[in-house]
Amino acid sequence: MGHFVYSMNVSLDLRIEQVPGDNGAGEWLRIDEEFHREANAQAQALALMVQGRVVYEVMEEYWPRARADVSLPDYMREYGEIWTAKPKVLVSRTRRSADHNTRIIGGDDAIEQLAALRAQTDGTISVGGAALATQLLRAGLLDELLLCTHPAILGFGRPLFDEYDVPIDLDLLEQRSFGSGVTMRRYAIRDVSEAS
């Protein structure tokens, strides 16, 4: 059985977006080569990526083109190759088609479909998107958090989870710091069954 890991860049006050629509691409992010290469390695090791519509559409707009853009550093082109080739699931009620090795799950039973997918998959399944991660957390299906904390306090903006008010205990599994000041921490959700 696979495990769902919500991977997200966050500020110190656990915001993922400062201005509506910046989709995690704000100037507060400190993504340097060292950090990007680690993100590439983690993405390469994934069994599957599961993304909500907003995250997916940001990714599909940029990364397929980035892989062939010789003006970009090699590590960015590499991520474009990884993202484009990696098997992906887009969770959306409105999209009917998607390219880049992507299938779509939608409808009222999307969480049940994702539970079945988790049971059938070996390895790590990344989760992209606050709404999707919140739904998986409520359903008791979210196994881990991989938070890349950037040294900024935004003070406002979209939080890591959407309107979730039940305490969840976490265990720190791994921690790494980067020269840019970013800290990557991986947490296990202590008892997934109690999250529902």
DSSP string, 69-114: -TTS-HHHHHHHHHHHHS-EEEE-SS-----SSEEEE-STTHHHHH
Model pLDDT, residue 163: 81
- Per the structure, how many domains does the chain have? 1
> pLDDT tens across 65-83, in order?
999 999 999 999 999 999 9
> pLDDT tens across 32-73, in order?
999 999 999 999 999 999 999 989 998 999 999 999 999 999
Model pLDDT, residue 193: 47
Q: For the chain, what is the largest distance between any 2 Cα atoms, rounded to a whole number of angstroms?
A: 48
For the chain, report the end-to-end CA distance as a whole number of angstroms: 19
169: domain range?
3-195
Q: Which of 158, 145, 151, 159 is nearest to 182 (CA)?
A: 151
The β-bridge partners of 46 are: none
In angstroms, the CA 183 to CA 174 distance is 10
CATH number of the domain within which 183 lies: 3.40.430.10
> pLDDT tens across 79-106, in order?
999 999 999 999 999 999 999 999 999 8
